[in-house]
A and B are shown apart, each in its own frame.
Chain A
């Protein structure tokens, strides 16, 4: 790998591409008026994020990001959108309240961004002496079933609640709607 000319530049370029994809997807998701396009933006952003995970030596996490967020979450959202609203949404003309909520959201986002920026630039980031984990499937599996087993089980509990809720909503059956 090291013998190949400009390999550093190629790696850097791929990294920039991943970061740009993430940001562009997020911007698309936030700025477009059509809801299908914002879901596409979300998907693009997730793919960029998966690339960033890959750069952090976590291929498992990267692929899971694609499998779950692009393959499941985005598809579910689009499906729900298609069932609900096939056409363009009517523009909301109440400019005053839009401005109010928009500025409120902007302030919140700016505060979060400022906090993260402060954390990123002023924190003394120490590199751990030993690598915490090698990011392999075995390491992830072990930590999911030991250190983080409670969180893991709680997530499955949340999914169970969602399934039971869906069943409760749909139990009247097709003919009784």
Chain B
């Protein structure tokens, strides 16, 4: 019996099987998270608004996501007349798959990453850029006024916020000297003052950098207060207006997958990944704790702040975030050159 288990472990350790295991695991992880983050969202919203939220299905409404999933899956997939059929159907998948692929390079633990590649950070940013296209194509293919307005908004928003996000990423690459996410985490070993967030001797504006990254992450994932793409009270449901059943469900799952990815990336870049804040007992549990704290803060922000105006959103990026992120970039390069020159 033990021999059989050792053989199985050996078999699973060979590369293609290992990848397969990670692939299935990642899909299950994203699916479960998407389902239960909806529960967290609804419970959180309810608590912020002083009401109980879902309570009927299961203890504290814990089975609510399953009921929701069954409901969504049993609904008819309506493809309205006059839409571009192929693009209409492909758009949700196009939104979901980049997030799934990007999760492959996230180092969940010291040896727990599907693929430890040297350009991991770049890979996440390049696949994340496909996201815009998905919402835009979905909106355009719907042939709906609201959806097209939403698609146009999404592009201006994402183009505006991709610039400061990439500038922050370049700052982080300069500070760490690598694009390998696992190495970035390893550099932050020790106690919490070694985390990039608190390394003010490299760049005194490091917390500001984190704030810019976090804001851009909210905007890139189209979360309130930046949910211009959906904006229920203005655009019905924006780019998702014409989607029914699981078509909408996949968009919804993709939104949570993207939030998860953004929070995981923030954890890796700024909060020390799987490193423990006290320098002992590092492990995957710390990664999950930090990541879910960030996810909770995203929910918290959504139900606390009202939606910004569209011009306010663009002004925030072009007039504040981009100049400040350029400043942090120049400042950290100057400080690396002056004080930390290898």
Residues 131-176 of B contacting A (Cβ, < 8 Å):
132-133, 136-137, 140-141, 148, 151-152, 155, 158-159, 162
**Interface SS of chain B: helix, strand, loop or mixed?**
helix
Answer whether residue B308 sits at the interface, using C-beta atoms and an 8 A cutoff: no
CB < 8 Å: which of B130, B148, B152 contacts A66?
A: B130
Answer whether residue A125 sits at the interface, using C-beta atoms and an 8 A cutoff: no
CB < 8 Å: which of B16, B148, B155, B158 contacts A7?
A: B16
Question: In the assembled complex, how far is the CB of residue A40 from the closest CB belonging to chain B, in whole angstroms?
Answer: 7
Q: Which A-chain residue is minimally distant from B129 (CB atoms)?
A: A71
Q: Which A-chain residue is minimally distant from B98 (CB atoms)?
A: A66
CB < 8 Å: which of A66, A70, A78, A86 contacts B136?
A: A78
Q: Which A-chain residue is minimally distant from B178 (CB atoms)?
A: A137
CB < 8 Å: which of A37, A59, A71 contacts B132?
A: A71
List the B side residues contacting A26 at CB < 8 Å.
Answer: none
Asked whether, in the complex, the Cβ of B179 is within 8 Å of the Cβ of A137, the reply is: yes
Asked whether, in the complex, the Cβ of B119 is within 8 Å of the Cβ of A1, the reply is: no
What mask results when residues 31 to 50 of chain A are scored 1 for a CB within 8 Å of chain B, else 0?
A: 00010110010010000000
Answer whether residue B233 sits at the interface, using C-beta atoms and an 8 A cutoff: no
Tell whether A78 pairs with B126 under 8 Å between CB atoms, given A63-B119, A137-B118: no
List the A side residues contacting B122 at CB < 8 Å.
Answer: 60, 63-64, 67
**Interface SS of chain A: helix, strand, loop or mixed?**
helix
Tell whether A59 pairs with B87 under 8 Å between CB atoms, given A36-B140, A78-B140: no
Q: Which A-chain residue is minimally distant from B86 (CB atoms)?
A: A37
Residues 121-144 of A contacting B (Cβ, < 8 Å):
136-137
Determine the distance from Cα of A38 to Cα of B179 in the docked complex, in whole angstroms: 33
Asked whether, in the complex, the Cβ of B118 is within 8 Å of the Cβ of A1, the reply is: no
Determine the distance from Cα of A136 to Cα of B122 in the docked complex, in whole angstroms: 13
Asked whether, in the complex, the Cβ of A71 is within 8 Å of the Cβ of B140, the reply is: no
CB < 8 Å: which of B15, B125, B129, B130 contacts A4?
A: B15
Tell whether A66 pairs with B118 under 8 Å between CB atoms, given A36-B137, A86-B148, A137-B179: no
List the B side residues contacting A40 at CB < 8 Å.
Answer: 87, 137
Determine the distance from Cα of A82 to Cα of B140 in the docked complex, in whole angstroms: 8
Question: In the assembled complex, how far is the CB of residue B136 from the closest CB belonging to chain A, in whole angstroms?
Answer: 6
Answer whether residue A75 sits at the interface, using C-beta atoms and an 8 A cutoff: yes
Asked whether, in the complex, the Cβ of A64 is within 8 Å of the Cβ of B133, the reply is: no
Tell whether A64 pairs with B16 under 8 Å between CB atoms, given A75-B132, A78-B137: no
Tell whether A64 pairs with B14 under 8 Å between CB atoms, given A40-B137, A59-B118: no
Answer whether residue B235 sits at the interface, using C-beta atoms and an 8 A cutoff: no
Residue among A3, A10, A63 with the highest chain B CB neighbour number at 10 A: A63
Question: In the assembled complex, how far is the CB of residue B172 from the closest CB belonging to chain A, in whole angstroms?
Answer: 14
Q: Given known contacts A70-B126, A86-B148, what 19 new A-B pairs fall within 8 Å (CB)?
A: A1-B14, A4-B14, A36-B141, A59-B118, A60-B119, A63-B123, A64-B126, A66-B129, A67-B122, A67-B125, A70-B133, A71-B133, A75-B129, A75-B136, A75-B159, A78-B137, A82-B148, A136-B118, A137-B119
Closest 4 CB pairs of A and B: A71-B129, A67-B126, A66-B126, A63-B126
Residues of A within 8 A of B (CB): 1, 3-4, 7, 10, 34, 36-37, 40, 43, 59-60, 63-64, 66-67, 70-72, 74-75, 78-79, 82-83, 86, 136-137
